[in-house]
Each structure stands twice: as C-alpha cells, then as structure tokens.
Amino acid sequence: MILRCTKKLLAVIGAGRAGAGAPAADTDWYANLLWCERRKCLLLTQAATLFTAVQAGVTAAELRSTRHLVLDLIGRELASEGLPPDTFGDLTAQDFQVTTTADRSVVGCMTDMANYWLVGVMSYGGLAKADLTALNRSLRRNINSARGYQRPIDLTVEYLNA
C-alpha cells in the first residue's frame, strides 16, 4: 500500500524527507492533515475511486503510527457502507510505504472534500455535536468532476466488482 501524504502531514509523522516512491497508481491512497477546532484530523482518499474518510481528533502519536490508523479508518468506513474489508484488496498483507503526493487532481479533490467536511461540522454546531459517520458517508456521495461526475461510492462498488 502506498500512502501519498501532503507535506504538512509528512512533517507531523516524521517523514518530512520521504522520497517520491513508486509512480502514481490507481491503488494509491492520499492523506492530508486538517485542523478543526484546534484538533488534528486525518483525511484519507483512495486515488481511483475518491473513496474518502476523515478521522477527527487524532493525536501526533496516532499519526506517527500511520499504518494502524489508516487501516482502521479504511476498515471502519468500508463497514459503514456495507462493503467487504477487502474491497481494495488485502491492505494488511501489503508493504506500507509513505511518500509524497503525485496527482494534483486527487489533491484538489481532497481540498474540496475537506472544505465540505469542515462546513458540515460547522452546520452541526461543532465537532462535539457532529454526526461524523454521516459526514463521511456524505463525502462519498458528492459528485466530483475528477472522476467523470460520478459518486465515489458508486466508483468504489464498480472497483469492487471489477
């Protein structure tokens, strides 16, 4: 599994000088660090489908154990959608490599999704009142131009059935 992180996330997890790694692939995952109410949040997006999830209130220590945090988040969000844990293959059996981002269109989509998620948190009246499961599910139902105006959840089901 290749996790392509933004520079600000690489700095927090202590991989500030991560190399470019392998060429970009549809199987890559992208990660970004968000701040909401002075709390760190991890935004994670799968490159091919734009399947996205946010974990709010993560600590620096949790971010440094990136593999565990990422695999738990992916597993939990797949389960919330009723999808099998191996939708994107057996991620636990793959080598885990942290590197820099490689696809600006995915990073751009992540920025849009981050803004949508943050506005959603505000519409609930803050993190303490927000239904984070519902917000994550709504991210996966937003139509995005980067993948042919299709919903990430629909692309994920296609990916699973391919």
CA distance 43 to 112: 11
Between the alpha carbon of residue 54 and those of residues 21, 78, 108, 117, the distances in Å are 24, 13, 16, 8
User: Quick one: pLDDT at residue 21?
Assistant: 63
Secondary structure (H, E, C), 34-59? EEECCEEEEEEEECCCCCEEEEEEEC
User: Quick one: pLDDT at residue 74?
Assistant: 97
CA distance 140 to 82: 13
User: Quick one: pLDDT at residue 127?
Assistant: 96
Mean pLDDT of 118-125: 97
- Tell me the residue range of the domain where 111 lies: 2-161
When the pLDDT of each residue in the chain is averaged and rounded to a whole number, the result is: 92
CATH of the domain at 15: 3.30.420
**pLDDT-derived band at 94, boundaries 50, 70, 90:** confident
b/e string for 10-29 if b means 16 or more Cβ within 10 A? bebbebeebeeeeebeebbb
Cross-strand partners of 73: none
pLDDT at position 104 over 80: yes
CA distance 133 to 97: 27
What phi and psi values does residue 20 have, to the nearest 5 degrees?
-70, -20
Tokens of 62: 């949790």
The pTM of this model reads 0.93
Task: Answer for the pair 50, 150: CB distance below 8 angstroms, yes or no.
Answer: no
Residues 8-63 have pLDDT tens digits of 999 998 865 556 666 778 899 999 999 999 999 999 999 999 999 999 999 999 99
Label residue 65 exposed, middle or buried (CB < 10 Å: 0-12, 13-18, 19+): exposed
Domains identified in the chain, total number: 1
User: Quick one: pLDDT at residue 55?
Assistant: 97
